[in-house]
């Protein structure tokens, strides 16, 4: 290893060439450029020439003119024609065209130590061996003692349960898109798990249930992260030591290790993120051969992985942004290349739209289609969705429902808010606490089906039982004045001039009265939206509004979560502002009336786009609902990079097997330091270039890698980290891990560059090589050392 | 006629470059006459010094030709010593356009300023703060930094307002002691100055006098801006500072080309920083404009770095000057606002409770009166009250009383049935605790007092019941994962007392720090179970008298303020006997020394509380969402005359809003069109025009975007007036787009004259709308219900119509 490194180093320092087409020795460059200039008269200004002329000996004023038209120092590709892949040019198209056949000849001319063909083959084999080693090591660490602890750890209780739901085909609701859980379910199904384990709470023993398939699947994806990081860094920096360093950081990071070993969404998410990143980088390398088979392959693979990342968690959006940014700058580059016709650019654009927008969207939608197809039984998630949606689920009382169609007095009904994820009008035997309006019975909305959601429609002026068979059936009509009596507690829906518990200026809604006898504040006018007065009111289809007769306000739900005293159900208020919002529109869902004939309603079957839209709305609302409470310690984004505090996976009791998610401090603090150093070094180089400093060829090659490859990784880190500062929802430590992957890769590139720079600045080649190797080794050993102590 | 023939791109680029990164010849486009009348590029360059608009005095001599100063030839020195050679002559160019515009601006904003003599809309909100300033009572307003409030209060001070007015209702008549005119003067003045400033900005951006006048006239007849400026509100002040920052930056950037490091250059540079910090000081949203200016300055500085005609040292000087003026000066000014604020407000008031004890003690009256003269160091035997630092949901003190925890809770769990320990939000004799040394018996302070230090183990004895603060492995009443905290009652049921607490001073400087009254923030860690005394934030049920629950947090995951307590009242206990001690506790503490917090500590605390104080996000009848603003789908009723239907209503000039929105879209489309074509090396615009077009867009369209888009992410209640800063920038973009269309897209003179007449027609249309809505803007004319109904052009406009 050591000798391989030093040989590589020698080759690299010799062949690290500037990225620009003029990649020749500094002396040759000027002459060559002057020769080139008249050769391209069709490009009078623009960055093509500006970039070239800027560093030549043209007079200062002339230079100033030319630099004016220059874009920010954008340069294609990394160092050209590295030895590692001599036949595949890595530069932008015009670059290749300009240089043409010289590329292959360059290294030979420049490096006296260039290895012979045989040794190149040997090196290729070595590269594969290294990759295999990295992969093996990663798998070994991840699969080591995978079956321990044999009980539920942390969020396994959720995701394992959801995997079981897929196997049992019961409908459930979760704030994340379905792909990840579907894969978990599939893995469980294939490995012979029958979906009977309840996954009730962390700490429950698995006993005879087969959980290894699901854990193994997650660990498999988690292990692949390391080779992916290795390949990405290799592609970006063309430096084996950098790639090895990144891989070592990830292999020996205890946090990544722990997170990969359990039935969680994170390994799946990180797998797709890293796969998307890798295929994007690979595809960038193919840019010189557009529309070739590998080009299409990597491009569409990028799209597929994007769909995967988004399909597991919405955090996948960040990698989409990164790929999007890369694509836009790529297209911008192509567009500015005057040798390409507009039609060609159009083709490029179409290819990207197809592979990066249409393809992922199709796949993403397809996962939902599968999701809805698989989950066709009624389950715990029903209440989150609209009545029409529930009618699809077998076992739900709305499935093939036959209920009376028109509302009549005496009917027992449930009333559901039309706004998604608000739920049913609900009341229960608990009073509003003192100091919050009148101390009367609480009225809330509740997402789950429950006996307390039942209400009886009564006339406002008589208390006679309308179900008495001696009375004729009387239908409720639009504009009628009614009372709603809560079936379980016999209290009337009531409102009055007291402020609502959470929303200021709204009125409080309570349950009032004894055995159905209340006062005039219990009277509500029932109205159907967009209907004429006197019409009957239909179940499910009529959109109704309840207007309080005395105060004139409208019954609505604010969608805010009540504190503990309200069991964290949602607040119901009476709004004096008659704004047209869905919050104040309701529909009748269940309807029981023995006096009326049941009619089989072919309920409006929602179309697939409607279902898709609805489930997204519900997920977004669910995500927004995850708010931290006061007086509760929550993890803050700034805690994460400094490894401030971990997450307890398992082991509440003293006797238990304890698992604690915490990063390897050496790795994490090194990463943190590297980001600071990177920004410092990057800006120094950028300013130096902008000031027109002449960088030696070696340094220029290194700085290209640093600015280009490192820049992409830094962007990835920022995109996966900073948005969390803006999020209002409750955050956990494990949210940082995608960002941590990027910062580890950045660390690899940065330290490799720094060491090479140091080695280059030392006069003696022997000393330089020694120092480089020593630095790398110490970094590698440092990470590995801590790992031993940190594992369990 | 393609203007490209005027000056070749290469030349202009060159000139631009040498000038250090600002758009090329400023007024080369100002004439749109026949081609021969256009001035050449060279003439423009020569003319410029004489063309400085506005009424500024200018020093002669104009030493040397601009831009080629060596580092040693200090221009300032040169200018100062100039009078030895030549007489000092002050020449003033007075631009009558500006004077006229200022005059109409003042007229439109100041006319009948004291009418209506009643509280209008948010005056009710700002007014109470003015009263606090007048009475010098401390307050806390989470909505913005204090500079804006102070400016309004300055008006009150100059008008001799004594602060005696009850700001409780919109529409309440002002009493005679309220100087309405002078209170409203400052916003009105700033609102009026927007008009000439708009003119100046367009001029500095390099557009014609015609376009500049157009911009000023549009600002002049924008109803919403007038309404907002004529009242005691802060939006127009904010917009003023926003525009001032942009204007002075432009002036600075233009003088950069001629004479860097001249007096004028320094003046505008510093003014930019000052205006930015004033904008931030008025409202936090001012920070968006600040960031925009910083971004533009950053781009210019980056070009400057790339300018190789400048020496390294000179570039460094440029960068340092910018950093000092745009970063350091604003920060210092921001601090100074708070300094003045805290100096002015020295008395305690209704908002004290939110602040820490130390902060409260620094105010006159209130807590300071109580804590004045307390002994500083807590000793064994001290009697103290312990306040929770977090103070949410309400600030409260550690408390205990005779009642015990119920044997069985409602949900069937059992308790220890020992004496309750709670947190109580009112001062009470039951809040007193005695710090006791576990190894010694006496409950009084020895002489000399033995101070308690960090790490010491203490017992806390409840003053009135003489029971020990205790916690044990029993689930707390409402937070079953935490331990119950009680005052130990010995029932002889093999439940020993566990009443030792280790003192952990959080903000200690050394490990032997003494526990100090008010200043020390301490955690009390239970010795047996290492649980930490914590306020859980839950209200106990009836049996606990709805006081707040206190628990021992076993899994103390990190630091949280709800676990931290400080001593607020403190005195040395004198009597050993229970009876005497009860008497002692009932009488107030006394003694005298005073302590003060440093300014920085007070600033940091105040700033932090202002940012974290929860604004009650109440829905308002007139609240709206950002999407409604662009289309003016919302309005706000400000005031209604108590008898007639005269009213003030915040409504925009529909024509201006619509066309400003359209102009933004046109600008964006054109910009991307040009950008794409430039990328393919097709240059539709000459270089200088392009740069001017980009800069105008960056400032005006960018100003609109940064002042508008962030509102989509904000969770507070939003109103139409939040859009006004963005709108102002959008209005500035209108003439930019119009002139561009006239100059570059209308190719024939015929088209151009048709376009010109269309513009005139459009402007008179806007004037007509202004005039129609004028009664609602000034509220001076009572309209009949029919007329009002006719004015209700959109259903969502909620114009108040009286029913007779």
pLDDT tens string B119-177: 998 888 899 899 999 988 888 887 889 999 999 999 999 998 888 888 888 888 898 88
Mean pLDDT of A22-46: 35
The two structure tokens encoding residue B469: 């603060």
Backbone angles phi, psi at A483, to 5 degrees: -120, 150
Which of A46, A577, A691 is nearest residue B681 as measured by Cβ atoms?
A46
Q: How far is B126 from chain A (nearest CA, A)?
A: 21
The complex's ipTM?
0.71
- Examine the pLDDT at A15 and tell me if it is beyond 70: no
Residue-wise pLDDT for A223-259, tens only, equals: 999 999 999 999 998 888 889 888 988 888 888 888 8
Q: Which residue has the tokens 């592979």?
A: A355
Nearest partner of A708 among A153, A285, A142, A139, judged by Cα: A285
**How many other CB atoms are found less than 10 A from the CB of residue B507?**
12
Q: What is the pLDDT of residues A176-234, one digit of tens each?
A: 899 999 999 999 999 888 888 888 877 778 878 888 888 899 999 999 999 999 999 99
- CB atoms A68 and B13 under 8 Å: yes
Which residues of chain A lie closer than 8 angstroms to B557, CB-CB? 633, 645
For the ranges A38-42, A115-119, B207-211, which has the lowest average pLDDT?
A: A38-42
For chain A, report the end-to-end CA distance as a whole number of angstroms: 29
Residue B80 — pLDDT band, cuts 50, 70, 90?
Answer: low
Contacts of B210 (CB under 8 A, 6+ apart): B32, B739
Q: What percent of chain B has pLDDT over 90?
A: 36
pLDDT category at B657 given cuts 50, 70, 90 is very high
Please answer yes or no on whether B681 and A45 come within 8 Å at the CB atom: yes
**Chain B window 120-179: which residues touch A at a Cβ cutoff of 8 Å?**
none
Closest in A630, A644, A690 to B306, CB measured = A690
CB pair distance less than 8 Å for A691 and B10? no
Share the mean pLDDT of chain B. Answer: 82
Mean pLDDT (chain A) is 77
For position A107, what pLDDT does the model report? 39
List, for residues A652-664, the tens digit of each pLDDT value: 554 556 677 777 7
Shortest CA gap B14–chain A (Å): 5
Query: pLDDT at position A698, please?
Result: 80
For residue B407, pLDDT beyond 80: yes
Write the CA distances from B449 to B379, B511, B556, B580, integer angstroms. Answer: 6, 20, 33, 20
| Percent of chain A residues past pLDDT 90, beyond the cut | 21
Distance from CA of B760 to the nearest CA of A (A): 38
Residue of A nearest to B676 (CA): A335
pLDDT digits (tens, 9 = 90+) for B736-783: 999 999 988 888 899 999 999 999 999 999 999 999 999 999 988 888
Tell me the C-alpha distance between A408 and A477, whole Å.
9
- Interhelix angle for B209-220 vs B96-110, to 10°? 10
pLDDT digits (tens, 9 = 90+) for B361-379: 777 776 666 666 677 888 8
Question: Quick one: average pLDDT of B102-130?
Answer: 90
SS3 A415: strand
The owner of tokens 């009265």 is A513
What are B328's two structure tokens? 């350091």
Nearest Cβ partner for A505 among B309, B546, B619: B619
**What are the residues of chain A with a beta carbon less than 8 Å away from any beta carbon of chain B?**
43-46, 60-61, 63-65, 67-69, 332, 335-336, 338, 342, 433-435, 503-506, 564, 575, 577, 629-631, 633, 639, 644-645, 687, 690-692, 726, 728
B616 inside 8 A of chain A by CB: yes
Confidence of residue B728 (pLDDT cuts 50, 70, 90): very high
Where is B684: in which H helix or E strand?
A: none
* Alpha carbon distance A129, A135 (integer Å): 10
Q: Which among A67, A504, A726 is the nearest to B618, CB-wise?
A: A504
Structure confidence by residue, pLDDT tens digits, A617-650 = 888 877 776 776 655 667 788 888 887 777 777 7
Q: Given an 8 Å threshold on Cβ–Cβ distance, is B392 in contact with A434?
A: no
Local confidence band at A275 (pLDDT 50, 70, 90 cut-offs): very high
Residue A678 clears pLDDT 90, i.e. is over it: yes
Instruction: Work out the widest C-alpha separation in chain B, in whole angstroms.
Output: 111
Q: B614 at the A interface (CB within 8 A)? A: no
Q: What is the pLDDT of residue A502?
A: 82
Q: How distant is the Cα of A335 from the closest Cα of chain B, in angstroms?
A: 7
The band of A289, judged by pLDDT with boundaries at 50, 70 and 90, is confident
The mean pLDDT value for A46-50 works out to 35
A147: pLDDT strictly greater than 60: yes
Question: Do the chains contact at A692 and B306, CB–CB below 8 Å?
Answer: yes
Q: Compare all CA atoms of chain B with the CA of A690 and give the residue at the minimum distance.
A: B306
What's the confidence (pLDDT) of residue B37?
34
What local confidence, expressed as pLDDT, does residue B610 receive?
A: 85
CB-based contact A581:B625 (threshold 8 Å): no
Helix axes A179-190, A212-237, angle to 10 degrees: 120
Spell out which residues of chain B touch residue A691, defining contact as CB-CB under 8 Å: 305-306, 308, 312, 315
| Average of per-residue pLDDT across B459-487 | 87
pLDDT tens profile B445-458: 887 888 898 988 99
Tokens 């069991």 identify what position? A567
Per DSSP, what are the bridge partners of residue B436? B459
Mean pLDDT of B776-792: 87
**What confidence score (pLDDT) does residue A606 get?**
73
Q: Mutating which of B17, B392, B674 best tests the A interface, going by the most A Cβ atoms within 10 A?
A: B17
Q: Is A533 exposed, middle or buried (0-12, 13-18, 19+ CB in 10 A)?
A: exposed
Find chain B residues with C-beta within 8 A of A503's C-beta: 618-619
Residues of A in contact with B620 (CB under 8 A): 505
DSSP state of A477: B
pLDDT attached to residue A499? 85
If you ran DSSP here, which 8-state letter would residue A288 be given? G
Cβ–Cβ gap B390/A631 under 8 Å: yes
For residue B695, the distance in angstroms to the closest alpha carbon of chain A comes to 15
B545/A contact by beta carbon, under 8 A: no
Q: pTM here? A: 0.74
Q: Is residue B76 predicted with pLDDT exceeding 80? A: no
A631 vs B535: CB contact, 8 Å cut-off?
A: yes
Please report the beta strands in A411-538, taking only residues with DSSP state E, as ranges in sequence order. 412-417, 424-431, 441-446, 454-459, 481-486, 492-499, 507-512, 524-528
Phi and psi at B798, nearest 5°, equal: -100, 60
As a whole-number percent, the residues of chain B with pLDDT over 70 amount to 85
Residue of B nearest to A502 (CA): B618
Q: Is B32 on the interface with A (CB under 8 A)?
A: no
For tokens 């007048």, what's the residue? B134
């Amino acid at each position: 290893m050591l000798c391989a490194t030093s040989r590589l180093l020698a080759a690299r320092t010799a062949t690290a060439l500037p990225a620009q087409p003029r990649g020749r020795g500094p002396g040759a460059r000027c002459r060559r450029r002057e020769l080139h200039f008249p050769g391209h008269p069709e490009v009078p200004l623009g960055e093509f020439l500006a970039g070239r002329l800027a560093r030549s000996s043209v007079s200062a004023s002339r230079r100033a003119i030319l630099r004016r038209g220059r874009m920010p120092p954008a340069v294609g590709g990394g160092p050209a024609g590295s030895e590692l892949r001599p036949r595949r040019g890595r530069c932008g198209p015009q670059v290749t065209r300009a240089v043409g056949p010289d590329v292959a000849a360059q290294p030979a001319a420049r490096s006296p130590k260039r290895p012979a063909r045989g040794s190149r083959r040997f090196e290729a084999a070595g590269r594969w061996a290294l990759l295999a080693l990295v992969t093996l090591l990663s798998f070994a660490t991840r699969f080591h003692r995978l079956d321990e602890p044999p009980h539920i750890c942390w969020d396994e209780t959720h995701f394992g349960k959801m995997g079981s739901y897929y196997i049992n085909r019961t409908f459930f609701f979760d704030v994340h898109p379905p792909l990840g859980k579907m894969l978990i379910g599939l893995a469980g199904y294939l490995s012979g798990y029958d979906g009977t384990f309840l996954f009730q709470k962390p700490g429950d023993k698995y006993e005879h249930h087969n959980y290894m398939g699901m854990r193994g699947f997650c660990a498999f994806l988690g292990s692949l992260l390391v080779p992916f990081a290795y390949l990405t860094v290799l592609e970006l920096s063309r430096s084996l030591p950098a790639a090895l360093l990144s891989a070592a950081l990830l292999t020996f990071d205890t946090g990544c290790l722990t997170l990969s070993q359990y039935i969680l969404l994170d390994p799946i998410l990180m797998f797709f993120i890293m796969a998307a990143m890798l295929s994007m980088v690979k595809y960038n390398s193919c840019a010189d051969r557009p529309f070739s088979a590998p080009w299409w392959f990597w491009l569409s693979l990028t799209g597929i992985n994007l769909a995967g990342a988004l399909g597991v968690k919405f955090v996948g959006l960040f990698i989409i942004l990164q790929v999007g940014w890369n694509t836009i700058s790529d297209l911008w580059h192509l567009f500015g290349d005057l040798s390409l016709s507009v039609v060609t650019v159009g083709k490029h654009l179409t290819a990207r739209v197809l592979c990066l927008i249409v393809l992922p969207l199709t796949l993403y939608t397809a996962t939902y289609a599968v999701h809805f197809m698989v989950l066709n039984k009624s389950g715990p998630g029903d209440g989150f969705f609209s009545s029409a949606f529930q009618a699809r689920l077998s076992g739900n009382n709305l499935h093939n429902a036959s209920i009376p169609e028109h509302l009549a007095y005496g009917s027992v009904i449930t009333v559901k808010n039309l706004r998604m994820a608000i739920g049913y009008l609900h009341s229960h035997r608990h009073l509003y606490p003192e100091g919050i309006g009148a101390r009367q019975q609480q009225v809330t909305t509740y997402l789950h089906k429950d006996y307390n959601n039942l209400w009886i429609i009564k006339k406002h002026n008589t208390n006679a039982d309308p179900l008495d068979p001696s009375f004729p059936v009387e239908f409720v009509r639009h504009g009628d004045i009614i009372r709603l009596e809560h079936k379980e507690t016999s209290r009337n829906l009531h409102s009055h001039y007291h402020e609502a518990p959470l929303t200021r200026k709204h009125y409080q809604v309570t349950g009032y009265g004894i055995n159905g006898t209340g006062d005039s504040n219990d009277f509500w006018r029932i109205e159907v939206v967009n209907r004429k007065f006197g019409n009957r009111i239909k179940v499910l289809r009529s959109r109704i509004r309840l207007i309080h007769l005395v105060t004139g306000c409208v019954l609505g739900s604010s969608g805010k979560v009540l504190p503990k005293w309200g069991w964290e159900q949602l607040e119901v208020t009476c709004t004096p502002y008659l704004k047209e919002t869905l919050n104040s529109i309701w529909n009748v869902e269940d309807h029981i009336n023995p006096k009326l004939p049941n009619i089989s309603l072919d309920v409006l079957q929602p179309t697939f786009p409607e279902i898709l839209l609805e489930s997204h709305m519900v997920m977004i609302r669910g995500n927004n609902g995850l708010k931290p409470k006061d007086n509760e310690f929550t993890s803050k984004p700034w805690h994460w990079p400094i490894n401030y505090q971990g997450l307890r996976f398992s082991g509440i009791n003293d006797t238990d097997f304890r698992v604690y998610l915490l990063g390897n401090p050496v790795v994490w603090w090194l990463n943190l330091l590297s980001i600071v150093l990177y920004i410092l070094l990057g800006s120094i180089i950028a300013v130096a270039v902008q000031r027109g400093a002449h960088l030696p060829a070696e340094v220029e090659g290194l700085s290209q890698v640093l600015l280009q490859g490192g820049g992409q990784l830094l962007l990835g880190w920022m995109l996966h980290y900073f948005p969390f500062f803006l999020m209002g929802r409750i955050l956990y430590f494990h949210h940082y891990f995608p960002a941590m992957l990027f910062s580890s890769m950045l660390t690899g590139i940065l330290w490799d560059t720094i060491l090479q720079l140091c080695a280059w600045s030392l006069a003696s080649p022997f000393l330089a090589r020694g120092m480089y190797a020593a630095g790398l080794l110490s970094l590698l050993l440092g990470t590995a050392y801590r790992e031993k102590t940190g594992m369990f | 006629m393609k203007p490209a023939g005027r000056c070749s791109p290469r030349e202009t680029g060159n000139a631009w470059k040498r000038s250090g990164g600002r758009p090329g010849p400023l007024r080369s486009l100002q004439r749109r006459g026949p081609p021969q009348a256009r001035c050449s590029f060279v003439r423009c360059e020569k003319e410029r010094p004489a063309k400085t608009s506005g009424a500024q005095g200018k020093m002669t001599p104009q030493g040397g030709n601009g831009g080629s100063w060596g580092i040693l030839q200090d221009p300032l020195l040169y200018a100062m010593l100039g009078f030895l050679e030549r007489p000092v002559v002050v020449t003033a160019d007075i631009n009558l356009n500006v004077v006229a515009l200022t005059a109409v601006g003042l007229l439109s904003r100041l006319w009948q300023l004291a009418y209506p003599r009643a509280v209008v809309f948010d005056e009710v909100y700002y007014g109470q703060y003015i009263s606090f300033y007048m009475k010098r009572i401390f307050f806390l307003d989470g909505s913005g930094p204090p500079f804006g409030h102070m400016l309004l209060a300055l008006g009150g001070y100059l008008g001799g307002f004594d602060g005696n007015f009850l700001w409780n209702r919109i529409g309440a008549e002002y009493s005679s002691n309220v100087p309405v005119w002078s209170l409203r003067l400052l916003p009105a003045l700033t609102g009026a100055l927007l008009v000439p400033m708009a003119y100046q900005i367009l001029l500095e951006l390099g557009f014609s006098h015609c376009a500049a006048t157009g911009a000023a006239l549009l600002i002049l007849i924008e109803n919403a801006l007038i309404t907002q400026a004529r009242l005691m509100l802060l939006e127009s002040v904010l917009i003023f500072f926003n525009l001032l920052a942009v204007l002075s930056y432009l002036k600075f950037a233009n003088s950069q080309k001629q004479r860097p490091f001249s007096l004028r250059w320094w003046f505008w540079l510093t003014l930019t920083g000052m205006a930015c910090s004033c904008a931030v000081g008025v409202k936090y949203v001012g920070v968006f404009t600040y960031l925009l200016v910083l971004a533009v300055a950053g781009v210019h500085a980056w070009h400057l770095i790339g300018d190789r005609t400048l020496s390294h040292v000179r570039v460094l000087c440029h960068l340092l000057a910018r950093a000092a003026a745009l970063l350091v000066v604003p920060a210092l000014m921001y601090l100074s606002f708070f300094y003045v604020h805290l100096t002015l407000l020295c008395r305690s008031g209704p908002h004290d409770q939110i602040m820490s004890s130390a902060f409260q003690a620094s105010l006159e009256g209130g807590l300071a009166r109580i804590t004045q003269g307390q002994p500083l160091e807590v000793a064994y035997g001290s009697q103290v009250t312990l306040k929770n630092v977090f103070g949410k949901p309400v600030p409260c003190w550690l408390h205990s009383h005779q009642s015990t925890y119920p044997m069985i809770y409602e949900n069937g769990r059992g308790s220890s049935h020992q004496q309750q320990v709670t947190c109580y939000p009112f001062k009470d004799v039951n809040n007193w605790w005695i710090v006791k040394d576990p190894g010694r018996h006496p409950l009084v302070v020895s002489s000399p007092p033995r101070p308690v230090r960090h790490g010491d183990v203490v017992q806390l004895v409840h003053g009135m019941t003489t029971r020990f603060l205790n916690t044990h492995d029993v689930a707390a009443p409402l937070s079953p994962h935490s331990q119950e905290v009680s005052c130990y009652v010995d029932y002889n049921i093999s439940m020993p007392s566990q009443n030792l607490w280790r003192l952990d001073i959080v903000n200690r400087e050394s490990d032997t720090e003494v526990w100090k009254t008010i200043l020390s923030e301490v955690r009390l860690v239970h010795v047996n179970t290492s649980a930490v005394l914590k306020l859980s934030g839950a209200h106990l049920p009836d049996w606990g008298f709805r006081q707040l629950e206190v628990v021992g947090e076993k899994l103390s995951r990190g630091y949280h303020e709800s676990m931290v307590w400080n001593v607020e009242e403190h005195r040395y206990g004198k009597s050993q006997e229970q009876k005497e001690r009860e008497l002692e506790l009932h009488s107030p503490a006394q003694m005298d020394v005073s302590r003060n917090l440093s300014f920085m500590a007070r600033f940091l605390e105040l700033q932090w509380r202002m940012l974290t104080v929860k604004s009650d996000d109440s829905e308002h009848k007139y609240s709206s969402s950002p999407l409604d603003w662009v289309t003016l789908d919302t309005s706000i009723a400000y005031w209604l005359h108590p008898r007639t239907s005269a009213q003030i209503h915040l409504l925009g000039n529909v024509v201006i809003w619509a066309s400003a929105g359209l102009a933004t879209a046109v600008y964006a489309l054109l910009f991307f069109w040009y950008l794409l074509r430039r990328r393919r090396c097709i240059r539709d615009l000459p270089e200088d025009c392009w740069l001017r077009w980009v800069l105008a867009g960056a400032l005006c369209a960018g100003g609109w975007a940064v002042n508008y888009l962030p509102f989509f992410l904000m969770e507070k209640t939003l109103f139409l007036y939040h859009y006004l800063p963005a709108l102002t920038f959008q209005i500035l973009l209108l003439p930019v787009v119009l002139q561009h269309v006239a100059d570059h897209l209308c190719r024939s003179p015929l088209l151009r004259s048709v376009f010109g007449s269309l513009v005139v027609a459009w402007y008179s249309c806007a004037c007509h709308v202004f005039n129609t809505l004028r009664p609602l803007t000034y509220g001076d004319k009572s309209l009949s219900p029919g007329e009002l109904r006719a004015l209700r052009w959109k259903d969502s406009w909620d114009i108040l119509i009286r029913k007779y």
